[in-house]
Amino acid sequence: MALIVHKYGGTSVGSAERIKNVARRVAKWRRAGHQLVVVVSAMSGETNRLIDLAKEVQPSPDPRELDVVASTGEQVTIGLLAMALKNIGLDARSYTGAQVRVLTDSAFTKARILSIDEEHIRADLAAGRVVVVAGFQGEDEQGNITTLGRGGSDTSAVALAAALKADECLIYTDVDGVYTTDPRIVPEARRLRTVTFEEMLEMASLGSKVLQIRSVEFAGKYKVPLRVLSSLTDADQPLAQEAASGTLITFEEDTKMEQAAISGIAFTRDEAKITLTRVPDRPGIAYQILGPIADANVDVDMIIQNTSNDGTTDFSFTVHRSEFARAMDVLNGKVKAHIGAGNVVGDAHICKVSVVGIGMRSHVGIASLMFRTLSEEGINIQMISTSEIKISCIVEDKYMELAVRALHKAFGLEQPVLAH
Amino acid sequence: MALIVHKYGGTSVGSAERIKNVARRVAKWRRAGHQLVVVVSAMSGETNRLIDLAKEVQPSPDPRELDVVASTGEQVTIGLLAMALKNIGLDARSYTGAQVRVLTDSAFTKARILSIDEEHIRADLAAGRVVVVAGFQGEDEQGNITTLGRGGSDTSAVALAAALKADECLIYTDVDGVYTTDPRIVPEARRLRTVTFEEMLEMASLGSKVLQIRSVEFAGKYKVPLRVLSSLTDADQPLAQEAASGTLITFEEDTKMEQAAISGIAFTRDEAKITLTRVPDRPGIAYQILGPIADANVDVDMIIQNTSNDGTTDFSFTVHRSEFARAMDVLNGKVKAHIGAGNVVGDAHICKVSVVGIGMRSHVGIASLMFRTLSEEGINIQMISTSEIKISCIVEDKYMELAVRALHKAFGLEQPVLAH
């Protein structure tokens, strides 16, 4: 008997019929003797509907109140799934984030989980109940409702699995695993049977939408065995077959005997580039620019500073596209005048393309192959950043698909790899 | 400066535009220097949508889980209204029932309020904030979400007004006050400028849908001055005019100098009649019939027992129509055989028509005028019950409108009354 956490996203619970299907799948696991905790998202479309409603009332919705509204999406799903489970004879009980209690900080709309009180859940599991928990949400020390931001249900699931020391956390989704890249762009993309946490972290943060990045961080930190698998298979398929499907995210990289140079190509259009021109080149200037940006709660990704000869520098960085306008406001508002920069130039027509692979550590020539491939396609590289297991390039966004296809081919990712 | 509780129903908050209108109305009161607590219902149609969704998943939804789902309707509204208030420059904060905390018993879907912790609200009011509270909901001792049943938002508002010792509780609704009867049935129906709690209690319990009965009980018990008024007027009408509109529900009956014999005609189609025939006429028989009914959580309204000469009796009573099937099941299931009754006969084609008036106490001939009027219209009376301030008759439901019109005329209710 194992303690298993399941997580079902919005598409998997998108209608009464689909919720009943989820109940059948959960029942299969429960009746095999496992203890089950099920984390669910809002029904597909619901969170957007609620946010649109909020914007109708207040164009920039108050974050505390937006969380009050948005958190209802998951609350509806937990009640419905608990009903569906009871309807097929299982005992079940639902909990909101606040009821669990999932304690978070007070950063409304993008709160972080601080702790989870698993007492109620353990008592219910001991009593033979399936426990259904609302993903995406929690409450802060003052009892305010908080949400974890888009995709936060994955984080809820992994955090619960960590708190409960679950044997495995299964993320059911509308894809059947993690691919070398998005098959909609590269039809030859291959599903990876395993991927390491570090690779997954880079893939997720770079725009492979399979898992939310924080959930992968959590899973890595607490060593939660995590599996991404399809919720579109027959709910009644044999349990053993289902348990071995999808992609397992491992934390033992050396189990991979034959390591490919790279595991995948990630990409994202979710960023925008900002350049301050003719910034005086003096100590502390980066802080004077990025301090106010951080104060406005805007995350900065890549940063580049090019010194020229005239004592000024061009300072460029990228931010999430949804925070682009805010970042521009901050810079135009006080930063530019304060530091005496020339201009603030924003560019939302960019994308980021990255090669990711833990094998990069033991292979040489990855960067040069990447740059050569892009160059051969006539794609100009605007910014470059590297880490131990990835290389990212910012290019004009119209080249994104072309770049991804060319790189996927250049690195031979369509070929099956031993032990993958 | 007064402490005022406003309550807005589903129609008043039925769209983003209407929520903005409510915000303007609330702002008018707040800016006149009053402290404001605003209780809101779910947007119109939302509670039904949620219940329908639940029934798709589980035909008889689990009550605990149904409350988890249904309570989201109000939660959406509080967030939206707080946003709308902030959007026009007022400070505001929303609370769910659990957050307040509105403590209830654990009778899911029809819980009763046990206590209200007004600490947070007082702190917010002192800080100049408008406090927005979700009606219809609370939580029990174990932290389960509960709802108060249909119309429970009125009860929430009055309970909050009582806990906060508010100066007045204004129930904004889609009618402009309490009428002598439903103007859709009797166009000559008059709005009452005042009505006593006792009369209102009878009117509400008998189907005048203006206020939920428990809210009136609460208001009477805690002497909360309660006013029913229209939310359809111009939000910017002068405050003094608005504050004097609608119907004030008073607890000082002797302020009415010229008391009409009766204040109104109430009616309801929400009941059904059940008769057990040939019940052995022995002590304890009523308890043996109604005990199991009460155990099944079914409320009984009117009860009549007619003894005949052969040692048996016909035992009739009425229940709410939504509980009719359950009551029939209980009687057919075990009661009938256990007590040795003849038959269980159910009749859902009935209605109850009542004349209500505190003036009844000092006027004679009310009952006979009622019976004569019905008789003159050829309407057979099936059951009669009386209290100090009302007389109710059960008649076949096809006669309901006719009975109401005839009684309204017979008691001269279309005539304006001094001091009303």
- Give residue-wise pLDDT tens across range A45-64: 999 999 999 999 999 999 99
Final residue before a domain boundary, out of B253, B279, B313: B253
pLDDT value of residue B116: 96
Which has more confidence, A138 or A205? A138
Tokens of A173: 């989704």
Is the Cβ–Cβ distance between A152 and A165 less than 8 Å?
no
CA distance B52 to B302: 31
Distances (CA, A) of A228 to A128, A179, A357: 26, 11, 19
DSSP state letter for A42: P
pLDDT value of residue B286: 85
Which has more confidence, A403 or B385? A403
pLDDT level of residue A72 (50, 70, 90 thresholds):
very high
CATH number of the domain where residue A295 is located = 3.30.2130.10
pLDDT level of residue B259 (50, 70, 90 thresholds):
low
Could you tell me which of B370, B390, B380, B391 has the C-alpha nearest to residue B347?
Answer: B380
Tokens of B7: 């309550």
B203 is a domain residue: no
pLDDT of B413 higher than 50: yes
Tokens of B108: 């899911």
Indicate if B273 and B402 belong to the same structural domain.
Answer: yes
pLDDT level of residue B419 (50, 70, 90 thresholds):
very low
A187 is a domain residue: no
Of B59, B66, B79, Cβ closest to residue A79: B66
pLDDT of A420 higher than 70: no
pLDDT level of residue B257 (50, 70, 90 thresholds):
very low
Distances (CA, A) of A237 to A20, A234, A265, B89: 16, 5, 32, 57
Residues whose CB is less than 8 angstroms from the CB of residue B293 and which lie 6 or more positions away in sequence, other chains included: B300, B319, B327, B330, B331
CA distance A14 to A43: 4
Which stretches of chain A sit within 8 Å of chain B by CB?
Answer: 16, 19-20, 50, 53-54, 56-59, 61-62, 64-69, 71-72, 75-76, 78-80, 82-84, 86-87, 93-94, 96, 98-99, 143-145
Average pLDDT rounded to a whole number, residues B53-80: 97
Question: Per residue in B122-161, is it b (16+ CB within 10 Å) or e — as a string?
Answer: bebbeeebbbbbbbbbbbbeeebbbbbbebbbbbbbbbbb
Which stretches of chain B sit within 8 Å of chain A by CB?
Answer: 16, 19-20, 50, 53-54, 56-59, 61-62, 64-69, 71-72, 75-76, 78-80, 82-84, 86-87, 93-94, 96, 98-99, 143, 145
Backbone angles phi, psi at A100, to 5 degrees: -60, -55
Identify any residues that bridge with B145 across adjacent strands, giving them in sequence order. Answer: B139
B107 is a domain residue: yes
A392 is a domain residue: yes
Lowest pLDDT segment from A91-95, A218-222, A359-363, B268-272 = A359-363
Question: Per residue in A284-321, is it b (16+ CB within 10 Å) or e — as a string?
Answer: ebeeebbebbeeeebebbbebeeeeeeebbbbbbbbbe
Indicate if A240 and A307 belong to the same structural domain.
Answer: no
Backbone angles phi, psi at B378, to 5 degrees: 75, 25
Tokens of A137: 């949400």
CA distance A250 to A226: 7
pLDDT of A109 higher than 80: yes
Residue A277 exposure: Cα atoms within 13 Å on the Cβ side: 5
Could you tell me which of B243, B210, B207 has the C-alpha nearest to residue B6?
Answer: B243
- ipTM attached to this prediction: 0.78
Give residue-wise pLDDT tens across range A269-296. 889 999 998 888 888 888 889 999 988 8
Contact criterion met (CB < 8 Å) for B57 and A20: yes
pLDDT level of residue A250 (50, 70, 90 thresholds):
confident
pLDDT of A419 higher than 60: no
pLDDT value of residue B220: 87
Indicate if A90 and A171 belong to the same structural domain.
Answer: yes
A237 is a domain residue: yes
Q: How many CB atoms lie within 10 A of CB A115?
A: 12
Considering only CB atoms, which chain B residues are within 8 Å of A99? Answer: 143, 145
Give residue-wise pLDDT tens across range A344-386. 999 999 999 999 998 887 777 888 899 999 999 999 999 998 8
B189 is a domain residue: no
Indicate if A236 and A326 belong to the same structural domain.
Answer: no
pLDDT value of residue A77: 98
Could you tell me which of B35, B77, B74, B69 has the C-alpha nearest to residue B52?
Answer: B69
Indicate if A243 and A305 belong to the same structural domain.
Answer: no
Indicate if A308 and A407 belong to the same structural domain.
Answer: yes
Indicate if B306 and B269 belong to the same structural domain.
Answer: yes
- The total number of residues shown for chain B amounts to 420
pLDDT value of residue B251: 78
pLDDT value of residue A208: 60
Query: Which strands, in side-by-side order, build the sheet including A113-116?
Result: A113-116, A102-104, A137-139, A145-147
Indicate if A292 and A405 belong to the same structural domain.
Answer: yes
Is the Cβ–Cβ distance between B360 and B388 less than 8 Å?
yes
pLDDT value of residue B208: 60
Complete DSSP assignment for B16-55: HHHHHHHHHHHHHHHHTT-EEEEEE-PPTTHHHHHHHHHH
Residues whose CB is less than 8 angstroms from the CB of residue B387 and which lie 6 or more positions away in sequence, other chains included: B202
Query: What is the maximum alpha-carbon separation in chain B?
Result: 77
Nearest chain B residue to A77, by CA: B69
pLDDT of A219 higher than 70: yes
Lowest pLDDT segment from A76-90, A124-138, A357-371, A380-394 = A357-371
Indicate if A226 and A307 belong to the same structural domain.
Answer: no
Query: Which strands, in side-by-side order, build the sheet including A312-320?
Result: A300-307, A312-320, A271-280, A344-347
CA distance A147 to B75: 14
B346 is a domain residue: yes
pLDDT value of residue A205: 64
pLDDT of A306 higher than 70: yes
pLDDT level of residue A388 (50, 70, 90 thresholds):
confident
Contact criterion met (CB < 8 Å) for B79 and A65: yes
pLDDT of A309 higher than 90: no
CATH number of the domain where residue B155 is located = 3.40.1160.10
Indicate if A277 and A220 belong to the same structural domain.
Answer: no
Which has more confidence, B96 or A420? B96
SS3 A263: coil
Shortest alpha-carbon distance between residue A1 and chain B (Å): 27
Tokens of B304: 């009549």
Q: Based on the structure, what is the number of domains in chain A?
A: 2
Average pLDDT rounded to a whole number, residues B114-135: 96
Residues whose CB is less than 8 angstroms from the CB of residue A377 and which lie 6 or more positions away in sequence, other chains included: A399, A402, A403, A406
Average pLDDT rounded to a whole number, residues B229-239: 91
**Alpha-carbon radius of gyration of chain A:** 23
Q: Highest-confidence range of A341-350, B71-80, B234-243, B351-360, by mean pLDDT?
A: B71-80
Residues whose CB is less than 8 angstroms from the CB of residue A107 and which lie 6 or more positions away in sequence, other chains included: A146, A297
Which residue matches tokens 């009778």? Answer: B107
Give residue-wise pLDDT tens across range B330-369. 999 888 888 888 899 999 999 999 999 988 877 778 888 9
B196 is a domain residue: no
* H helix runs in B206-246, sequence order: 213-221, 239-243
pLDDT of A209 higher than 70: no
Burial of residue B267 (CB within 10 Å: 0-12, 13-18, 19+) is buried
Tokens of A15: 């209608």
Interface test with B, best of A21, A60, A80 (most B CBs within 10 A): A80
Indicate if A384 and A248 belong to the same structural domain.
Answer: no
Contact criterion met (CB < 8 Å) for A72 and B75: yes
CA distance B209 to B253: 22
pLDDT of B328 higher than 60: yes
**Strand B350-356 vs strand B312-320: parallel, antiparallel, or unpaired?**
unpaired
pLDDT of A207 higher than 90: no
pTM of this structure: 0.79
pLDDT level of residue B417 (50, 70, 90 thresholds):
low
Which has more confidence, A418 or A106? A106
CA distance B101 to B159: 12
pLDDT of A158 higher than 60: yes
Final residue before a domain boundary, out of B190, B218, B253: B253
Considering only CB atoms, which chain A residues are within 8 Å of B48? Answer: none
Expressed in percent and rounded to 5, the helix, strand and coil fractions of chain B are 40, 25, 35
> Could you list the residue range(s) of the whole structural domain that residue A132 is in?
3-175+210-254
Contact criterion met (CB < 8 Å) for B57 and A16: yes
Which has more confidence, A122 or B322? A122
pLDDT level of residue B284 (50, 70, 90 thresholds):
confident
pLDDT value of residue A142: 95
pLDDT of B261 higher than 80: no
pLDDT value of residue A214: 80
pLDDT level of residue A417 (50, 70, 90 thresholds):
low
Indicate if B246 and B264 belong to the same structural domain.
Answer: no
Nearest chain B residue to A142, by CA: B99
Backbone angles phi, psi at B52, to 5 degrees: -60, -40
Final residue before a domain boundary, out of A254, A277, A308: A254
Identify any residues that bridge with B273 across adjacent strands, giving them in sequence order. Answer: B318, B347
Average pLDDT rounded to a whole number, residues B62-74: 97
